[in-house]
A and B are shown apart, each in its own frame.
Chain A
């Protein structure tokens, strides 16, 4: 079974730029996988950031952007802020349903 892969952890300095990726254990991610991205802080419900590869959800600041980079989906955060410190999950459509990646824990320090 194909696994959706994400970096387990990442760190970024305040004001810096970070790109989180979402890949497949076998094959390439494309727009046909409709990648979406979610942010979650401990004890809270997820918050939708990006859907259908690069469309920002309502109210999400434009420093969050989605794209396809090479064979992976990517979430780029520019001008990182302290409250961006969260877990980030991608989801891919795999033909028979949705599959979440394992999540990336982002530290801002």
Chain B
């Protein structure tokens, strides 16, 4: 069974840092691009960042560019999101999601497939 399990969320002060992890299982992790998507309380979904299968290329929403860093460790089947200079508006549930097709057949933006259950980040001001 394909599974994604996020961890690392919590309460952090404004200006602080946090690292989220997403442990993948049930598929060949190193063959797929991965994304982070967040959802602020009572709001809609917002794409945050993506990384290609090798980890060599990364992409960010303007709202987090320069503050967040996406990375992956294919030997550990784990995706990361390093968040720094956190703001109150970063408060959200953060989901990791797998690209719908392997990198050999398409790009991260073709669609998102399996989603984790999310981890909650609360930034206090």
Name A's B-contacting residues (CB within 8 A): 1, 34, 36, 38, 40, 45-48, 50-52, 55, 57, 87, 89, 91, 93, 96-103
Contacts and interface: CB of A to CB of B under 8 A. Distances in A.
A101 to B, nearest CB: 8
Given A51-B100, A51-B110, A46 B46 contact: no
Given A45-B95, A45-B117, A48-B115, A98 B109 contact: yes
A69 B111 CA distance: 19
Contacts, number: 72
A7 to B, nearest CB: 13
Contacts of B114: 48
Nearest to B115: A45
A11 to B, nearest CB: 19
A55 B106 CA distance: 14
A89 B44 contact: yes
A34 B109 contact: yes
Contacts of A50: 111
B50 interface: yes
B111 A48 contact: yes
A57 B113 contact: yes
A87 B45 CA distance: 10
A40 B117 contact: no
Contacts of A48: 100, 111-115
A100 B109 CA distance: 12
Contacts of A102: 44
B116 interface: yes
A25 to B, nearest CB: 15
A103 B45 contact: yes
A18 to B, nearest CB: 19
A77 to B, nearest CB: 18
A50 B100 CA distance: 10
Given A51-B100, A103-B44, A91 B61 contact: no
B35 interface: yes
6 A-B pairs with least C-beta separation: A51-B111, A93-B109, A98-B47, A36-B111, A45-B115, A103-B44
